[in-house]
Structure 1
Amino acid sequence: MFKKRISLALVLLLCVGLLAGCGQKAPEEAEQPSENQVPAEEQLKIAMTTDVGGVNDQSFNQSAWEGLQRAEKELGIVANYKESKQDADYGPNMETLLDDENNLIWGIGFKMGDLVKEEAEKNPDQKYAIIDYAYDETPENLVGVVFKAEQPSFLVGYIAAKMTKTGKVGFVGGVTGNVIDGFEYGYKAGVKAANNGTEVLTQYADSFTDSAKGKAIANQMYKDGADIVFHAAGGVGDGVIEAAKEQNKFAIGVDRDQNALAPENVITSAMKRVDNAVFNMAKDLKEGKFPGGTTVVYGLKEGGVDIAPTSDKHVPADILKEVEDLKQQIINEKIVVPYNEETFNEFK
């Protein structure tokens, strides 16, 4: 018995000496990285500075962050963001992301257009991209990304004109400019294309954050006879949708599918797939195909805009069938949707 105990002790000591524990795997049996796991030193770092709407704006900032989160999950990048509470935050946020040594820095929103270009020119070895801005001359380390917002706006305008019971619909804009012009005049063209005499009430909030003002504008439009109101106004649109809920009227969302904000009242949304654009840029960067010095344009043809997938909850099937036909006409350029007042007047 004594000899057996000595033998067992020797075996245990041998195991400890050779493998630091008999249960440890031999080197060739050690777990290997999963197929999608990227070594930390090779991971791309991509970050974004939000517009003043913030990362949870239920609109394009949130959509951009969702695109980065998807890239983190599927491509193995490291995603981050800095949130802007006011315009004065844009510059410091950009500097912070530069100091953090990100491979690509995004500016989300046209209000950062001049600043992002200045940063790109000051830091030629740093890659930048911006949503909703196109430059006459784009630095080689910068990419502008724009959307044909007039195209989904045309489609929701057609839906509004077909579904109105009062012959009046509304449009609430945030701040006037080229980007919101696309929404406004695309929407008006879609209403016009329905060819049933529907009137469009229009008002701007001069803000992208004042939801109380959006609610007041929408309430007045409903009082004046509109029964459907489309907003392209960021956080202002939260007030528009709240007014629709309280008045038991309809609203049309923007940028993301906003039906979840008021399932019985948001009948459709004019979507800009900012998430897809951000994800695609991360994919291109990882593959060494960063399109610096250019502007990337997303429309229906490129899968960058559309109406919300929840549209079939409220929009009749026959109208959606007509919308699908209109989509194809736009993709095939049989219909060229106007994007500002001049092209709208020509369209009429």
Structure 2
Amino acid sequence: MDTDRFDRRKFVKGVGAASLVGLAGCSGGPESGGSDGDSNGGGSDGSDGSDGSDETETETEASGSETTNIGMVYATGGLGDGSFNDQAQTGIQQAADEFDLSYDESEPDSVSQFSTYQTQYAQSTDPDYDLVSCIGFLQADALSQTAPDYPDQDFMIVDSVVDADNVRSYTFKEHEGSYLVGQLAGLLTSRSFSAGDSSTSGDSTNVGFVGGVESSLIAKFEAGFTAGVKAANEDVDVQTTYTGSFSEPSAGQEAALSMYSSGADIIYHAAGNTGVGVFQAARDEGKFAIGVDRDQSVTTDYQDVILASMVKRVDTAVYNAAETTVNGNFEGGTATSLGLAEDGVDIVYGTELGDQIPDEVASEVQSSREAIVDGEISVPDSPE
């Protein structure tokens, strides 16, 4: 979908802990930061765009009584990550473009702030939010407490299942898409391959995986990637590192540099904004990287090193929840899982390097995609 045409939104910057305490008891929703569409809510360098202050900008938008109001609580790492949060934002932007819908956005700085933002939206009477969208598995614990306290408030969550009658849960089969990019990495690292200023050695014995916060969710990315690598070449090992953060590019860069120096020539990340550092390391070392969640050869400035991305249609989940809310048929107490068969995940080749990948390699990957959809290949969802 064309994200350039989405320019109508209201925006809330993450505020300091002291300010959150003061806001938690108010009857209105979180204050909305002004935006006329000329900002993506985050820095172009992949940061969350915050200047570290507690200042919150305000925009007043008149809305009729029939307008649907949605509150967005993003994952830590913030907007401008070029992947997970930005993909969620694309979904709500599309919904706002197509329906009579108004939305507010919040960017928590830490896990401890999730409960406060969720509660603020649920308590708000001006506006009265029809849906609160919780982006990321780290929100599950907070939502498990918040949802029962506000049984008349509808919530949705991405990447986790919360068992409550007023919560709709969306999960993805990340391991299926990760298998495909793993196979790509395994096939290319086993041959001499050059594109742009990067190359593989042809006799490499390993590739790399950089994860953010270690969890069963991110383990699905690792498991699928490793299975795909091994399917391509059993002799290729996978170096794995978890940085413990989704918002520290420097940690991603350090982890990737260590892997490249240990012989890896392709690294796949599932680390949010931390993954930007992986791309920088690939450029520094003349190696390759694989993006995640969105086509990161489009959403970042590292198209010269990104072979492909494992796209995860968080935007589809956000859009679907918004659409059903607008239409009055939102179904709480349900869970939906999206994989290759449902176009919930997939492999997308890089805009600059994709057409240089050998046809026989792309053909093998496509064959595996079809085999997974047909049930002929079963992809593990946890590391062995």
Partners of 1:71 and 1:198 lie apart in 2 by 43
Correspondence for 1:264: 304
Letter in 1 for 2:76: V
Partners of 2:280 and 2:130 lie apart in 1 by 40
User: Which of 302, 308, 314 is the aligned partner of 2:342?
Assistant: 302
Partners of 1:179 and 1:321 lie apart in 2 by 29
1:309 Cα deviation from its structure 2 partner = 4.8
Aligned residue for 1:308, secondary structure, equals strand
User: Which of 231, 235, 243 is the aligned partner of 1:197?
Assistant: 235
Deviations 1:224-250 (A, max 9, x none): 110000111111111111111111110
Q: Is residue 117–residue 142 contact of structure 1 (8 Å, CA) maintained in 2?
A: no
Deviations 1:285-321 (A, max 9, x none): 2223212101111101111111125363343222222
Letter in 2 for 1:251: A
User: Which of 116, 139, 160 is the aligned partner of 2:143?
Assistant: 116
Partners of 1:309 and 1:220 lie apart in 2 by 25
| Structure 2 residue 380 is matched with structure 1 residue 338 | yes
Q: Is residue 168–residue 199 contact of structure 1 (8 Å, CA) maintained in 2?
A: yes
Question: Within 5 Å, which residues of 2 pair with 1:150-189?
Answer: 150-164=175-189, 165=202, 166-189=204-227
| Structure 2 residue 358 is matched with structure 1 residue 316 | yes
Correspondence for 1:30: none
Distance 1:131 1:245, change over 3 A: same
Q: Is residue 106–residue 130 contact of structure 1 (8 Å, CA) maintained in 2?
A: yes
In the TM superposition, structure 1's runs of 4+ consecutive aligned residues that sit over 4 Å from their partners are: none
Letter in 2 for 1:129: M
- Could you state the TM-score of these two structures normalised by the residue count of structure 2? 0.76
Partners of 1:129 and 1:206 lie apart in 2 by 25
User: Which of 266, 269, 274 is the aligned partner of 1:236?
Assistant: 274
| Structure 2 residue 81 is matched with structure 1 residue 63 | no
- The gaps in structure 2 that reach 5 residues or longer are 1-62, 190-201
Correspondence for 1:47: 71
How many residues in Structure 1 have an aligned counterpart in Structure 2?
302
| Structure 2 residue 145 is matched with structure 1 residue 145 | no
Partners of 1:119 and 1:315 lie apart in 2 by 48
Aligned residue for 1:162, secondary structure, equals helix
Partners of 1:315 and 1:122 lie apart in 2 by 52
Larger Rg: 1
Partners of 2:99 and 2:157 lie apart in 1 by 21
Aligned residue for 1:112, secondary structure, equals helix
Letter in 1 for 2:325: L
**Aligned-residue CA RMSD (Å):** 1.5
Distance 1:150 1:243, change over 3 A: same
- Could you state the TM-score of these two structures normalised by the residue count of structure 1? 0.84
Aligned residue for 2:238, secondary structure, equals strand
1:127 Cα deviation from its structure 2 partner = 0.1
Partners of 2:183 and 2:357 lie apart in 1 by 11
1:198 Cα deviation from its structure 2 partner = 1.4
| Structure 2 residue 252 is matched with structure 1 residue 210 | no
Aligned residue for 2:272, secondary structure, equals coil
Correspondence for 1:292: 332
Partners of 1:328 and 1:198 lie apart in 2 by 24
Partners of 1:266 and 1:95 lie apart in 2 by 39
Aligned residue for 1:307, secondary structure, equals strand
Letter in 1 for 2:83: S
Partners of 1:314 and 1:60 lie apart in 2 by 27
